[in-house]
Structure 1
């Protein structure tokens, strides 16, 4: 990361086509692969990116290269929290945002900021998340885009988490309006797109946090109907939302049962990071005998 940061000042674009292709390959997401496997597959491309950024090149090629650098380093940043490495994720997102600014592409910058906002959001800093999401929404502008929709959805979750119910509901409405007007490219099922499945996942979280369980269950059903079978993380997060909703609806034992079942089915590679954090949050909210049962599962 430090070497790429240091290189963001002038380079050659001879290998830009290869890097564009690498970005296209990696932007599709984990597709059921453990995060460590994805990062291993990206390592050679990161080495090449660092090398190319160290060469001089024409201004136009430099802008394209910086945009590609923003995309690739942003993808690395997305994966880090799934490995319980929030600090490294922040560092890679800072690199991605710097590269996006150098490229002059506001949509890429908005995307990096919106994705960055999800890190503090998922790990207990919703005010910081709301700030990043607000900056992303401003950079995205008024035209419908994946970055604009994501920024609105993340902002809804962040505002819900800090107790701003009306602000959260306004952001939900904004995310829904933008999502309705996305074209096929913007709504593509990639880490750069805003597919319908991800839209429902974000709204499930917003409504779950708000305690509006009827709407949350509806969003969970819609998301699961669109979720492909390899999406281990997505399915587990939606089920954990459902467990939290059961607790909200006054069924702590059922909530604990569901959370423990989720954890026991979860492959070892996914037992750190966000899912552990969500399970721990639920554990702390449960009373009586339901409380230690999740703790015992997490300890195994």
Structure 2
């Protein structure tokens, strides 16, 4: 079911003399997003809430209270600490019970609204808002659990798809197609993290088609790099290596995020095959591309790359090669450089360290380190490829020895995480 209308939120907007379009322009979002929030069909993204509260001239806590299920127009609920706490509780409960059917109904609503209210040329502010939304999702992809991003990404992309179905000037269509390709690539990345392999493959085809249609080398290279990572985590190393090479070719020798991502992945692939010389050459290419990457792309985002990410990839490559001394140095650098909120790369770097300890004959310490790593993550954070990596680590210990170690059973317990399909979506 679609949520109750948030009449108090709409009433606050009207009280300060703003239309839905005025508020949308202020936040650089589609006016349909404002209508959706007030209709109870969705929540403002976390990074918009400070700006939304400022636009409505209220505190963030007051905004959270207004985002509760709708109240009758005559209702007047004081914004007490208890009311705010109740708002958070109800929001969490609502997130926990949204089913696949409800998500489908929300998507259908968005598409219906898009068909009803969208016509004419798109304004520059709307296009800017869509591009900014994609950029913010790229940032959120580094520190938000994938399951929490998937529903919002799907909804946003459905709206872009509706815009693409209408006649547009070629220049506008090209921008929308690039936005669609990047959103599809983010969905692809999210499905990779959740280890939803069959869906990843379908979305990889969609993202690649959209990227090639947009004709933007940066986007093509980036989308192909995401596809290569999906094949890698899916265990198809030959396909991953071929797509990584395509991603570097698509960059046309220019320093692009896709080319450094795919070069780093190529190093990991070659390391998994035991090819140290070619692995180190690939690492050298990744170092060179990163050194020449434009400053605006050097960041901790899904659309950027930085030294912390490279050190993690380097550490993983040397872990595969069994060169634990070099792997340890790279892991130290990765853990120092990765943002504290970047739980995925930090967890992977720590699990690589656990693997090194096991490889060096200290299985007890390695398992203890892996248990500590998993214990610091929520179920949603562990779901998908992080749990997959933990299971790989366990399998690296010979079975008789594994059964004799109590820590192995404890780590197995930590890995009993619900499948991504069972993790509630917002």
TM-score by length of 2: 0.64
Match of 1:95 among 206, 230, 233: 206
Runs of at least 5 residues in structure 2 that lack an aligned partner in the other structure: 1-107, 109-118, 418-426
Contact 1:243 1:258 survives alignment (8 Å): yes
Distance apart, 1:12 and its partner CA: 7.7
**Aligned residue for 1:80?**
191
Match of 2:395 among 281, 284, 300: 284
Distance apart, 1:58 and its partner CA: 2.2
**Aligned residue for 1:6?**
none
Distance apart, 1:71 and its partner CA: 0.8
Contact 2:270 2:278 survives alignment (8 Å): yes
Check if 1:207 corresponds to 2:318: yes
Check if 1:107 corresponds to 2:218: yes
Match of 2:381 among 263, 270, 278: 270
Match of 2:411 among 283, 294, 299: 294
**Aligned residue for 1:185?**
296
Question: What secondary structure is seen at the aligned counterpart in 1 of 2:143?
Answer: coil
Check if 1:247 corresponds to 2:364: no
**CA RMSD in angstroms, aligned pairs only:** 2.1
Structure 1: how far apart are the matches of 2:414 and 2:206? 37
Higher mean alpha-carbon deviation, 227-236 vs 29-38, is at: 29-38
Match of 2:139 among 4, 15, 28: 28
Structure 2: how far apart are the matches of 1:31 and 1:129? 22
**Aligned residue for 1:227?**
338
**Aligned residue for 2:347?**
236
Equivalenced residues, count:
291
Question: What secondary structure is seen at the aligned counterpart in 2 of 1:245?
Answer: helix
TM-score by length of 1: 0.90
Runs of at least 5 residues in structure 1 that lack an aligned partner in the other structure: 4-10
Question: What secondary structure is seen at the aligned counterpart in 1 of 2:294?
Answer: coil
Give 1:17-56 correspondences, 5 Å limit: 17-56=128-167
Deviations 1:139-180 (A, max 9, x none): 112222222111110111111112322221110111112112
Distance apart, 1:293 and its partner CA: 4.8
Question: What secondary structure is seen at the aligned counterpart in 1 of 2:140?
Answer: coil
Contact 2:221 2:256 survives alignment (8 Å): no
Check if 1:134 corresponds to 2:241: no
Deviations 1:163-222 (A, max 9, x none): 322221110111112112222112122111111111111111111111111111111111
Contact 1:82 1:274 survives alignment (8 Å): yes
Cα distance, 1:214–1:105 mapped onto 2, change above 3 Å: same
Structure 2: how far apart are the matches of 1:163 and 1:254? 25
Structure 2: how far apart are the matches of 1:171 and 1:244? 22
Contact 1:123 1:274 survives alignment (8 Å): no
Check if 1:119 corresponds to 2:230: yes
Structure showing greater Rg? 2
